[in-house]
Amino acid sequence: MPTDDTLPVWLVDDDPDVRESLSQWLEVSDLAVRTFDAAMPALEALRHDAPCGVLVSDVKMPGMDGLALLDAVQALEIPPPVVLITGHGDVPMAVAAMQAGCWDFVEKPFAPERLEECVRRALQQRRLALENDRLRRALREGDLAGRLLGQAPAMVALRRQLETLAPVRANVLIQGETGSGKEVVARCLHDFGPGSSAPFVALNCGALAPELIESELFGHEKGAFTGAHGRRIGKLEHASGGTLFLDEVESLPLSAQVKLLRALQEGEITPLGSNAVRPVDLRVVAAAKADLPAMAREDRFREDLYYRLAITELCLPPLRERREDIATLFGHFCRQAAAVHERDVPEASPALLQALEGQAWPGNLRQLRNAATRFVLGLEIPGLADGGEAEPGSLNAQVAAFEGALLRAALGRHGGNIQAVMEELELPRRTLNQKMLRHGLRREAFLAPEDRESAGSDED
């Protein structure tokens, strides 16, 4: 569906003189126009996805009138804005039309400039709606699930949140432990957002000396301070049009927080050593591993900056709270490491996977990635023995670990299809249910996101 400035204005009116005069005025104003002498042909064209920017319709028409057309248009997947024109309107009709989804209500007689202004505003809204829909489709059909692996409920919910947040340019605060994937999420917000063609600029606030932070954020002119041998563009200006990712934002000194807040509020920056004000337009994605509201109560982080950054918040689960994803993630990291180091991908035994799932993983995904690299290189994984095999335990413990890994692998292969798992493992339904309960396995954890709504309908 078109999303550019060529989207035409559709004009529906049974009066040929009105159609001609209004279409001529809009065309003189550099707007494309398509005319219809009745509502039904326009509706049929919309149902067949003909490009429409805004629908302008008279109310009083034979057959289907403008109000009925408005109701029918609202049933479409992405209805265009509808502007109704009438010489017979009154306040109750206008109120009813607006409540039914009408973009605007213009009563005759009206100045042509009034209609043109209304149409241009509606076209802007239409283009935004179509672009948001395009981005959401890209998220659903693209590689979001390939970037954020896992079927744990928290990960499914996170991907759904990203589908909603990525198409809009609101600032986002990501809360999560070290190594939980905050930058990956920030890049998803950028890559599937409206500024994806502009730069993604990352800055680790905790890795900079305090005296350099303001120069990094806002830039500086030659001679602004000792060592400033030339002009430098700051991160905010570099990211303009795109996304600025501020990792460990809790590390920013209070003096830099004040200037950052002003820059975000005013949409402009002043480089160090300069009086020139430069406009910036960007989305800020900030990440923190500390409790920013608690820091604000202790006067260690500005509360107003927190609210400016946290227009919406995402909380990333630590790896220990999504253990059902560990085997999938470990396999993914092993394949990546094998490609980088030009090695074959070794097979992880059920005992190894069981041991990995029992680890605490304080370093989260980063620590698991390192473990996978060591496994591919044939090195010992810290906390495990013999290059990754579990420490020997009792026979019962080893049998239980092997059984749990087999069940988990079968559920993963069949996407949570209980009947298929029963047939592969030759288990009766009740026995399978008991074993899944014993090992803490839930069918929902292995379903595709789109199948989760009906999860549980075939379980005893």
Domain 144-317 has CATH 3.40.50.10140: no
* Residue ranges of the chain assigned to CATH 1.10.8.60: 321-454
What ranges in 142-253 are assigned the alpha helix state H? 144-147, 153-165, 182-191, 210-218, 235-238
The first and second tokens of residue 34, run together, are 């398509």
- Identity of residue 332: H
Give the pLDDT band of residue 247 (cuts 50, 70, 90): very high
Is the CATH code 3.40.50.2300 the one for domain 9-136? Answer: yes
pLDDT, residue 140, reads 57
Q: Which two tokens stand for residue 41?
A: 């042909």
CATH code that applies to domain 321-454: 1.10.8.60
Distances (CA, A) of 257 to 251, 262, 296, 299, 340: 10, 9, 12, 12, 40
Which amino acid, one-letter code, is at 175? Q
- H-helix or E-strand spanning residue 225: none
Residues of the chain with CATH 3.40.50.300: 144-317
Q: Which residues, other chains included, contact 35 with Cβ-Cβ below 8 Å and sequence gap of 6+?
A: 10, 11, 12, 13, 19, 23
- The tokens describing 181, both together, are 């994937």
Query: Between β-strands 268-269 and 278-279, what pairing exists: parallel, antiparallel or unpaired?
Result: antiparallel
Which of these, 164, 157, 101, 156, lies nearest to 133 by C-alpha position? 164
- Whole-number pLDDT of residue 459: 39
How many residues can be counted in the chain? 460
User: Is the pTM value of this prediction over 0.85?
Assistant: no
What local confidence, expressed as pLDDT, does residue 441 receive? Answer: 77
The answer to whether 230 and 222 are in contact (CB under 8 A) is yes
Comparing 155 with 92, the larger pLDDT belongs to 155
Predicted local distance difference test score (pLDDT) of residue 101: 85
Q: Both tokens of residue 345? A: 């991908």
Query: In this structure, are residues 335 and 199 in contact, taking their beta carbons and an 8 Å threshold?
Result: no
How much of the chain exceeds pLDDT 70, in percent? 88
Is the peptide bond preceding residue 62 cis, with omega within 30 degrees of 0?
no
Lowest mean pLDDT among 137-151, 185-199, 429-443: 137-151
Residue 372: count other Cβ atoms within 10 Å of its Cβ: 25
Task: Please list, in sequence order, all residues whose beta carbon lies within 8 angstroms of the beta carbon of residue 279, skipping any fewer than 6 positions away.
Answer: 240, 267, 268
- pLDDT bin (cut points 50, 70, 90) of residue 242 is very high
Q: How confident is the model at residue 139 (pLDDT cuts 50, 70, 90)?
A: low
In this structure, which amino acid lies at residue 410?
Answer: A
Nearest residue to 16 via CA among 37, 1, 33:
37
